[in-house]
Amino acid sequence: MSVQLWQLLIKLERQDRQRPLTCSECFAILDLLSLGLELGIELERLEQSARKHLARCPGCREQIQERLRLLEDLSA
């Protein structure tokens, strides 16, 4: 299930900050962060939420590592 970024940002703004992200929410944040846009939102808070998710989710860590390997291969 794909998460729309605007829905995620609204949810994060309203949620109890102790609720962990889902995998799709984490990747929506990582996609946003990879763009490096200045959106007037708390990017640090989003990054911290994504890092917490990656620390507890081996599947997402594996996907991120694979994406990073692909990017390195493309830039070589």
Q: Catalogue the long-range contacts made by 51-55 (C-beta closer than 8 Å, 24 or more residues apart).
A: 52/20, 52/21, 53/20, 53/21, 53/23, 53/25, 53/26, 54/26
- pLDDT bin (cut points 50, 70, 90) of residue 65 is very high
Say how far apart CA 13 and CA 8 lie, in whole Å: 9
Residue bearing tokens 């995998």? 23
Span 23-49, pLDDT tens digits:
888 888 888 777 766 665 667 777 888
Residue 18 has what DSSP assignment?
T
Considering the entire predicted model, what is its pTM? 0.60
